[in-house]
């Protein structure tokens, strides 16, 4: 069991302030049989030179360089190169807990799992230097494909990350699972996690916090407004529909579809509010209208389905109702009051 190789894929860009700490958190793992595949996405600040030095010093560190085409392309190259039984990811400014690989590997092997996901510690570093810490936790469990789909709308957000996940390499490589290289400003992890649902039989979740994810909000793409992110939300929504619809009864699917639809609308609104400040409202109205035009609501819900949606997701039922009635301004006002 100790001879099983794990491939760690780390795309890097301009992270010279953090890359040394991140790589050391990998090299200090209690589980030692791994390869670290570093894909330099055209860094210009000295990050690449640091990574190259590590590859020269350690045989298990593999360094390669590509032009600046994005994190998705870098991860896809890593997947194609991986030789391990399992694949793990890490962001260039995050940290593994020292027993991350060992703990995740033991769970995967013990239960013959296709994926394992761990709980996460988030550290949000604000522009003023303040650090906000929070945790996103799982309840330790093993979910079948059917249970993932049944509970899809209630999965914690860290389920849709990839950097807290151990994947069976065979599943990714044999099914051509890849990150969408046209998504450069968010949603790519969500998209990837939905795409692999047809190919997994079971997923392990652990309550143990084994990954530390930093969000440096003054630098993050989520702190700036990009039109492409709105497009990515639409692409992700369509992929959700394509994958999930085939597994649910007509009644359940229409309720799940309604929830996902309204959730995307509030995601667009929240993104505008975070990134645009006083300019948010008119742009949010425009972008929500664009989403609705590009993704017309597909169903006429029965009274029973509306009641079920209202019971399960009351705030999103209101969002959907007002959006379909073309009362987007009123919807935004009510959503803002609810957020306060």
Q: What is the pLDDT of residue 195?
A: 96
Q: Mean pLDDT over residues 31-49, rounded?
A: 96
Confidence of residue 129 (pLDDT cuts 50, 70, 90): confident
Confidence of residue 1 (pLDDT cuts 50, 70, 90): very low
In the chain, the N- to C-terminal Cα span, in Å, equals 52
Q: Mean pLDDT over residues 184-200, rounded?
A: 94
Confidence of residue 55 (pLDDT cuts 50, 70, 90): very high
Q: What is the pLDDT of residue 83?
A: 97
- Give the tens place of pLDDT for each residue, 193-251: 999 999 999 999 999 999 999 987 655 555 678 889 999 999 999 999 999 999 999 99
Q: Mean pLDDT over residues 113-118, rounded?
A: 98
- Give the tens place of pLDDT for each residue, 288-308: 999 999 999 999 999 999 999
Q: Mean pLDDT over residues 37-53, rounded?
A: 96
Running DSSP on this structure, what letter comes out for residue 58?
A: -
Q: Among 104-113, 121-130, 131-140, which stretch is predicted with the lowest mean pLDDT?
A: 121-130
- Percent of the chain past pLDDT 70, that is, above it, reads 96
Q: Mean pLDDT over residues 243-260, rounded?
A: 96
Using the predicted structure, report yes or no on whether residue 103 has a pLDDT greater than 60: yes
Q: Mean pLDDT over residues 78-98, rounded?
A: 97
């Amino acid at each position: 069991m100790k001879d099983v190789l794990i491939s760690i894929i780390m795309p890097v860009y301009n992270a010279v302030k953090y890359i040394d700490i991140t790589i050391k958190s990998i090299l200090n793992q209690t589980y030692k049989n791994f390869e670290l595949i570093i894909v330099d996405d055209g860094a210009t600040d000295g990050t690449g030179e640091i990574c190259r030095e590590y590859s020269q010093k350690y045989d298990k560190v593999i360094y390669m360089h590509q032009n600046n085409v994005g994190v998705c392309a870098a991860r896809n190259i890593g997947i194609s190169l991986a030789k391990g039984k399992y694949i793990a990811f890490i962001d260039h400014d995050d940290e593994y807990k020292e027993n991350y690989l060992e703990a995740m590997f033991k769970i995967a092997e013990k239960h013959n799992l296709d994926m394992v996901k761990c709980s996460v510690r988030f550290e949000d570093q604000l522009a003023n230097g303040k650090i906000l810490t929070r945790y996103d936790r799982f309840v330790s469990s093993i979910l079948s494909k059917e249970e993932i789909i049944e509970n899809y709308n209630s999965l914690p957000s860290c389920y849709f990350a990839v950097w807290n996940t151990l994947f069976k390499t065979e599943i990714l490589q044999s099914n051509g699972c890849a990150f969408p290289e046209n998504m450069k400003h968010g949603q790519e992890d969500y998209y990837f996690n939905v795409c692999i649902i047809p190919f997994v039989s079971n997923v392990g979740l652990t309550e143990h916090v084994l990954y530390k994810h930093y969000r440096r909000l003054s630098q993050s793409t989520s702190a700036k407004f990009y039109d492409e992110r709105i497009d990515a939300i639409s692409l992700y929504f369509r992929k959700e529909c394509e994958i999930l619809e085939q597994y649910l009864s007509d009644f359940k699917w229409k309720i799940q579809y309604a929830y996902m639809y309204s959730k995307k609308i509030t995601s667009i609104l929240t993104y505008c509010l975070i990134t645009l400040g006083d300019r948010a409202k008119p742009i949010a109205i425009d972008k929500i209208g664009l989403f609705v035009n590009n993704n017309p609501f597909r169903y006429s819900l029965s009274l029973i389905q509306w009641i079920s949606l209202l019971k399960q997701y009351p705030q999103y039922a209101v969002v959907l109702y007002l959006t379909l009635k073309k009362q987007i301004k009123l919807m935004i006002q009510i959503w803002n009051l609810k957020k306060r």
